[in-house]
């Protein structure tokens, strides 16, 4: 029969009188800075996509057992390569946009 062991505890919580609040604050601040630095390393982008396109991305990700980000990244890389090779003509899909930021909006095929 194995000897029962108690779960490990946080050493900071074992001796609260030995560790003052200033040291605890310094340790917490260091951990917060580390978390913020790790979060800043990851660039993110958010785009408004119609629900059918989001559903298609979800379906492909589930079918291939990969992340949605990987599906979208692959699609963008393929689009950029095709566009650079002259294989993508967005001209026929352009419609005037009601925006001050850009002149055109694409009417995507259904």
Give the tens place of pLDDT for each residue, 50-65: 999 999 999 999 999 9
Number of domains in the chain: 1
* C-alpha pair distances (Å), 19 with each of 13, 24, 28, 32, 60: 9, 7, 13, 19, 52
Task: Tell me whether residue 21 is in a domain.
Answer: no
Task: Tell me whether residue 83 is in a domain.
Answer: yes
Task: Tell me whether residue 42 is in a domain.
Answer: no
Q: Specify whether the CB–CB gap between 60 and 71 falls below 8 A.
A: yes
Question: pTM of the prediction?
Answer: 0.59
Q: Rounded to the nearest 10 degrees, what angle do helices 68-84 and 51-64 cross at?
A: 110
Task: Tell me whether residue 82 is in a domain.
Answer: yes
Mean of the per-residue pLDDT values for the chain?
A: 84
Tokens 């913020």 belong to which residue? 36
Task: Tell me whether residue 81 is in a domain.
Answer: yes
Residue range of the domain that includes 69: 49-88
pLDDT at position 97, please? 93
């Amino acid at each position: 029969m194995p000897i029962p062991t108690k779960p490990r505890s946080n050493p900071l919580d074992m001796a609260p009188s030995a560790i003052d609040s200033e040291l605890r604050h310094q340790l917490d601040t260091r951990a917060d800075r580390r978390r913020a630095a790790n979060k800043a390393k990851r660039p993110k982008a958010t785009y408004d996509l119609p629900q059918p396109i989001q559903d298609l991305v979800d379906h492909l990700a589930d079918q291939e057992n990969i992340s949605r980000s990987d599906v979208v990244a692959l699609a963008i890389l393929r689009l950029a390569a095709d566009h650079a090779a002259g294989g993508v003509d967005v001209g026929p899909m352009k419609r005037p946009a009601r925006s001050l930021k850009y002149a055109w909006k694409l009417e995507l095929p259904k």
